[in-house]
Structure formats: C-alpha cells, structure tokens
C-alpha cells in the first residue's frame, strides 16, 4: 500500500483513468460488434462515421495503438464495401 500522499493520489487517479478507459473501450467494442452485425449497406454506411470517431478517440487517448485503430477502421470499411 502507498505511504506517501502523492502516491496515494496517483493510485486514485490511475484507478479513475483505468475505469474510464475500460468504459470507452467496451463501448467502442460493442459499437464495432453492432456494426459488423448489420447486413444492409445503407444502415452500415450511416453508422460507420460514428464508430470511426470512437476508434480515433481511443487512439488519441492512448487506450489503443494508432496502428490498431487504423487496422480496425480498414477491416470495417472492407467489410462494409463487401455488402451488397
């Protein structure tokens, strides 16, 4: 357990950040899952910009790596382009 005031504060801050990052990550994963489940191109293309924005925010916050964000966006766009 932490003994110094600053270390206790750091523990509190990191706990808060971890919870926030988990929330954003899970929300984005759910949005990606819902987008993949769509089978109509029109609804998928409407939802795509929102999901891309969520992925970009995760990368900006450092929750995921920027290359992973790029790969996710690429895979999603390929999947949507395949829809008839």
In the chain, domain spans: 30-84
Alpha carbons 35 and 29: distance in angstroms, whole number: 10
User: CA–CA distance from 47 to each of 6, 29, 55, 66 (Å)?
Assistant: 43, 14, 13, 21
pLDDT of residue 1: 73
pTM: 0.86
Give CA separation, 28 vs 21, 49, 84, in Å.
Answer: 11, 12, 25
pLDDT tens for 47-57 read 999 999 999 99
Contacts of 47 by beta carbon, 8 Å cutoff, 6+ apart: 31, 34, 35, 38
């Amino acid at each position: 357990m932490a003994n110094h005031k600053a270390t206790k504060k750091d523990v509190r801050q990191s706990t808060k950040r971890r919870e926030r990052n988990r929330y954003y990550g899970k929300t984005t994963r759910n949005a990606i899952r819902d987008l993949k489940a769509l089978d109509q191109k029109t609804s998928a293309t409407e939802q795509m910009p929102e999901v891309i924005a969520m992925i970009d925010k995760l990368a900006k916050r450092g929750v995921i790596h920027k290359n992973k964000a790029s790969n996710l966006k690429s895979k999603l766009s390929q999947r949507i382009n395949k829809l008839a």
